[in-house]
Structures are given as structure tokens and as C-alpha cells.
Amino acid sequence: MADLTTDFLGIKSPNPFWLASAPPTDKEYNVRRAFDAGWGGVVWKTLGSEGPPVVNVNGPRYGAIYGADRRLLGLNNIELITDRPLAVNLDEITRVKKDYPDRAMIVSIMVPCEEQAWKDILPRVMDTGADGIELNFGCPHGMSERGMGAAVGQVPEYIQMVTEWCKQYYDRPVIVKLTPNITDVRYPARAANAGGADAVSLINTISSITSVNLDSMSPEPMIDGKGSHGGYCGPAVKPIAMNMVAEIARDAETRGLPISGIGGVTTWRDAAEFIALGCGTVQVCTAAMTYGFKIIDEMTAGLSQWMDEKGHKSIADFQGMAVPNVTDWQYLNLNYVTKARIDQEACIQCGRCYAACEDTSHQAISMSPDRVFEVIDEECVACNLCVDVCPVESCITMEELAPGTVDPRTGRVVEADYANWTTHPNNPGAQAAE
């Protein structure tokens, strides 16, 4: 049996699945249910400064987009940080951590960008016995209009400054949660690193309008005829999140900085992918909000089984294994030549590959009167579109041309040696091979 226990910044949890700072972690009641269900840790929903709590809208907070059978693919929200008094939250955190000492308890914090505000709250969080804090520099809606959340996360200098304050006034791990609403995630990550962050977590939600109501002509979720952008999350954002995680994992300045991966983690496989890209834990929200806490059973069982099948004894065994394979386009091997291959036994003759290739690509698939679809090697650039649109898994695959064979499209012999754009004769900046 694979060992799922996780040591992230010295914080132990029975599995790498944490609940992200979000509605599911706003109250003692929910968090106890989560721990009873088997979640490895929680990041308590973001606390604000002492004083009257923020207020939320009194109409819909969430909007959604759906796939087939109303499967929820993307969720957006306009909920703010916790709207309950600070003292209530701190008391509850204390109690829950005491009762569940083996689970990770991280407290998310968002207070104004002033040293005193952080100086005030950090000792009180320390007193709860929580294992660490997560700085919410990511919330894209509401709080950002007040100079917090994403408004901080979009200015690397602020990130560094606040991180430094936290490291100064708090003696447990500090995780900086990053916003994806920036042009290059490496800059805020580098700033967090420079400020002394123990880890980064990402991504927070993406600014979004999920849909427009064509009757009322208002964005959803709609409040009295108006809408405001919300934060987008769920399965739809996973590819964006994974790219940002990989960028940080392979950046020279931030390589090795622990990462807690967030963004559309719905199944064990999603988690394994984030971990392969360097994450030490993953955080889940939308999947739990869609299906309830019980999904943890599939996640832990699935991850465990896959690790057993692959011979990974612990999370650390495969953590970051995919990072060396993430590279820049210019280093991709241009001598790697493949051709699409259609398995005629598996083909159900829907013709989607043909339509896609004929209408939108390279006219590299032929169609016979009796609906046999075949690849024309002379035209196939191996773009993979046919593979992607084929409804039958593994019906169309990419076959590598062996070195020494001739690519019928280019008429050139496939070279065995690796060669990329940096040395390609068409590249004006190419360096002649020495």
C-alpha cells in the first residue's frame, strides 16, 4: 500500500488532499465534517481584520457552466472573505485543531496592506495552534476593489513586503497564494520567494463572467439586474493552473520552492498530475462543492492504487517527475516525426476526423464511399487534431517514424539526432553548430 502521508513545510497530513480556503472551510461545522470524511487538511476560509465583518450580497453568489448532462465544468463566485466575526473563527479554529491534531490546519488571511494590520492579527492566529498561514493575494472580486486580494497579488513589490512582515511576526510556515490574473506568474512567485515565503499556492480564481442572461441582458450570477465579474474555478481552469505551477517549478529563481497546487482538482488523476508538476499538496474546492466531502474516498483510493501500480511508495517518489519534461518550444525536437494512424477495427466511421482535417487542417484524411477513413501520409503534419476530436479513445494514435525512413510529406529522411529551432537554418538567430 502506497503511503499517502504528506510532509509539506514540516506540516504533516494523512494525505495530500486539502480543502482550499473557500465556503467549505468557513465554519467549524463544515471543517469537522471534512475531517471526519477523511480530508488531509484545510485552509480555513480567509480571515479579515478585527472589527465589523464584511458583508456578502444577499442574492446569488455563484454562476456555472456545464458540460453534457449538466455536469458542472466551471463555477464562478462573488463571495467575499469570511463574513463572521474574527473571534468566532479563531475560537473554532482552535477547537478543531485541538480535536484533529493529525490534520493540517492552515489559516488564510487577508488584511489591509499595512504593517500594523498584519502585526495585529498574526499573534492571534498563532494562538489557535494552526500549522501555518496562507496569504490571500488572489481574490479577484470585491476585496480587490478595496486594495486587498488580487490588488496585492498583482504587484510583486507588495507581495514581497507583506510576506516579509509575516515572516517577521509569525514563526510558522507562510504560504503565499497567487492570483492567475496577471501576465506572468513567475514575477509574483519570485517576489514571494524573495520575501521569504515558505511556499506558494496557486491558482486563485480567474476573473470571469460565466454567462449572460439573454432575457435580462445581465451577467450571471445576477444581483438586481446587474452582475460583477467573479472568480472562476472548477475542472475548466485546471490546464491554466497546471501551466502556472509548471512555470514556477522550473523557473531558475523559484525552482524548489514548495507549491500547493490548486485549480480544478476533481479526481485522483488531477492530483497526481499536479504533484508530478512539483506540488507537495493539492487543494480542492469546486469538486467538494459539487459532490460533497465524500469524493475524498475516490481521491485517496485512486491515488493509492495508481501509486501501487507504478511502484511509488510515497508522494515524494513521483513529486516533480514531470517538471524536467516541461520545456520551451524552441527546445522541442524538430526531428521527432509522427503520423496519425487510424485503427480500422476501432473506427466507428463517424467521420469527425475527416471533417476536422478537411475543413480546418491539412486535408490529410481520405474518405471512401463506404466510409473508410485513412491518413494521407503525404499531407499529415501530425497535428493531433484528429486524435483530439475522435470519440473513440485510442482509435487514432500518433506513430513515430523511425530514423532513416522518409517522411512522405517532406521527402526528407528522418534524422536520429535531436535538433531544435535554435539551430534550425530558417531561424535568423540560429547559432551554427560547432
- Part of the chain binding another protein (CB under 8 A), chosen from 19-27, 66-74, 284-292, 406-414: 66-74
Q: Does 371 bind another protein (CB under 8 A)?
A: yes
Nearer to another protein, 214 or 416 (CB): 214
Q: Does 212 bind another protein (CB under 8 A)?
A: no
- Which amino acid makes up residue 233? C
Q: Does 351 bind another protein (CB under 8 A)?
A: yes
Q: How far is the CB of 351 from another protein (least distance, A)?
A: 3
Helix (H, G, I), strand (E, B) or coil at 81: coil
Q: Does 68 bind another protein (CB under 8 A)?
A: yes
∠ CA(270), CA(273), CA(274), 5° rounding? 90
Query: How far does Cα 136 stand from its chain's mean position?
Result: 16
Task: Pick the closest to residue 198 from 142, 128, 309, 281 (CA basis).
Answer: 281
- Part of the chain binding another protein (CB under 8 A), chosen from 39-47, 63-71, 146-154, 293-301: 63-71
Q: How far is the CB of 359 from another protein (least distance, A)?
A: 9
Helix (H, G, I), strand (E, B) or coil at 221: coil
| Residues taking part in catalysis | 139
Among 1, 51, 55, 70, binds another protein (CB under 8 A): 70
Question: What are the Cα distances from residue 344, in Å, to 255, 338, 347, 397, 399?
Answer: 46, 18, 5, 12, 15
Q: Phi, psi (5° rounding) for residue 334?
A: -75, -5
d(CA 355, CA 425): 35
d(CA 98, CA 241): 33
Nearer to another protein, 301 or 392 (CB): 392
Q: Does 367 bind another protein (CB under 8 A)?
A: yes
Cβ-based neighbours of 142, under 8 Å, separated by 6 or more? 54, 78, 80, 149, 228
Question: How many of the chain's residues bind another protein (CB under 8 A)?
Answer: 14
d(CA 277, CA 245): 7
Q: How far is the CB of 356 from another protein (least distance, A)?
A: 9
d(CA 213, CA 239): 27
d(CA 198, CA 173): 6
Query: For residues 374-413, which are near another protein according to CB under 8 A?
Result: 391-392
Q: Does 209 bind another protein (CB under 8 A)?
A: no
Q: Does 214 bind another protein (CB under 8 A)?
A: no
- Part of the chain binding another protein (CB under 8 A), chosen from 1-9, 137-145, 288-296, 351-359: 351-359
Nearer to another protein, 299 or 357 (CB): 357
Q: How far is the CB of 354 from another protein (least distance, A)?
A: 5
Q: How far is the CB of 213 from another protein (least distance, A)?
A: 13
Nearer to another protein, 350 or 381 (CB): 350
Nearer to another protein, 51 or 391 (CB): 391
Q: How far is the CB of 66 from another protein (least distance, A)?
A: 10
Q: How far is the CB of 302 from another protein (least distance, A)?
A: 25
Among 87, 316, 332, 348, binds another protein (CB under 8 A): 348
d(CA 211, CA 21): 25
Largest CA distance in the chain: 77
- Part of the chain binding another protein (CB under 8 A), chosen from 151-159, 333-341, 345-353, 409-417: 345-353
Nearer to another protein, 165 or 354 (CB): 354
Mark 268-305 as b/e (b = at least 16 C-beta within 10 Å). bebbbbbbbbbbbbbbbbbbbbbeebebbeebbebbbe
Residues making contact with another protein (CB under 8 A): 68-70, 348-352, 354-355, 367, 371, 391-392
